[in-house]
């Protein structure tokens, strides 16, 4: 059983959803980013998505685009992102880490080398936003053969025929993008999310995590009553962007994480 499967199974027995947190690797610099990464589990993160900076982040909103630029300007590379996971794993063998990003840097790195090093570093899953199921042979197949889950995105515009294709070889969990568009662009109604999750459950038994547009403990709690996971990203990135110092960036992210975690944990009480 993979770390992701173990974590979602554990939370199911606890009767609560997972808080899935996203940060961009290397934002605003390697050391600060690593300290944030290491601090997230104690602040309540159940699963961590780590963005792989790329020069053309087309699916990301302005906040994450700027985070990517800050990371690249500070010298972040795919190799350093894998190194960051390795350093995290020295003291944490239980929190799942999912790398999220685009195929181009992996293709340039070399798929075989990337999969081998990602596995060795302790990566548990991949979300590659621009690699559809038709291209499974390029990365999904070798990743899954190495025990790395390949997580698919679904959206409100994914029809039933396409949904079956998208979910056919997904593993780990399903990431439902609750607002069609770029990250951080507004939030979805609970009615819409309820209907969407019911539809997804007809197609898959995988845990369903909902993200895009969730910024407050109240919003996180509302989604946690419906889904298996609540994904928050842009809100953390904003804390880093507006912080006056690296120390305040770390404190801002971890304080927000703790508040969101409390919302998620209390969502199904009563």
User: What 3-state class would DSSP assign to 75?
Assistant: coil
How many alpha carbons fall within 13 Å on the CB side of residue 24?
Answer: 35
Dihedral of the CA atoms 105, 107, 112, 117 (nearest 10)? 0
Give CA–CA dist 151/203, Å, rounded. Answer: 15
The one catalytic residue among 5, 31, 46, 49: 49
Tokens of 264: 């998620």
How many alpha carbons fall within 13 Å on the CB side of residue 225?
Answer: 14
Give CA–CA dist 173/204, Å, rounded. Answer: 10
Omega of the bond leading into 28 within 30 degrees of 0 (cis)? yes
Outline where the chain has alpha helix (H): 3-14, 30-43, 62-73, 78-89, 103-109, 111-121, 140-145, 160-167, 190-201, 217-224, 234-242, 246-266
How many alpha carbons fall within 13 Å on the CB side of residue 149?
Answer: 26
- Known catalytic residue at 136: no
- Known catalytic residue at 251: no
The one catalytic residue among 14, 27, 46, 60: 60
Q: Which residues are catalytic?
A: 49, 60
């Amino acid at each position: 059983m993979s770390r992701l499967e173990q974590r979602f199974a554990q939370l199911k027995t606890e009767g609560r959803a997972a808080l899935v947190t996203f940060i961009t690797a290397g934002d605003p610099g390697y050391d600060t980013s690593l300290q944030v990464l290491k601090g997230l589990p104690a602040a309540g993160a159940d699963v961590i998505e780590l963005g792989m900076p790329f020069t053309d982040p087309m699916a990301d909103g302005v906040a994450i685009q700027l985070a990517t630029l800050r990371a690249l300007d500070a010298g972040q590379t795919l190799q350093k992102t894998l190194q960051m996971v390795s350093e995290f794993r020295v003291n944490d063998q239980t929190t799942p880490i999912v790398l999220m990003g685009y195929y181009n840097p992996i293709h340039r790195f070399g798929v075989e080398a990337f999969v081998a090093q990602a596995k060795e570093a302790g990566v548990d899953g991949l979300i590659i936003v621009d690699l559809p199921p038709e291209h499974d042979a390029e990365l999904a197949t070798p990743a899954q053969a190495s025990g790395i889950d390949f997580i698919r995105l679904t959206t409100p515009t994914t029809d039933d025929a396409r949904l079956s294709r998208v979910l056919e070889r997904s593993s780990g969990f399903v990431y439902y993008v609750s607002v069609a568009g770029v990250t951080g662009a507004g939030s979805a109604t609970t009615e819409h999310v309820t209907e969407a999750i019911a539809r997804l459950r007809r197609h898959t038994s995988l845990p369903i995590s909902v993200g895009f547009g969730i910024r407050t403990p109240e919003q996180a709690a509302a989604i946690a009553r419906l889904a298996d996971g609540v994904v928050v990203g842009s809100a953390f990135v904003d804390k880093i962007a507006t912080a006056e110092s690296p120390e305040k960036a770390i404190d801002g992210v971890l304080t927000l994480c703790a508040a969101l975690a409390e919302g998620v944990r209390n969502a199904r009480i009563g």
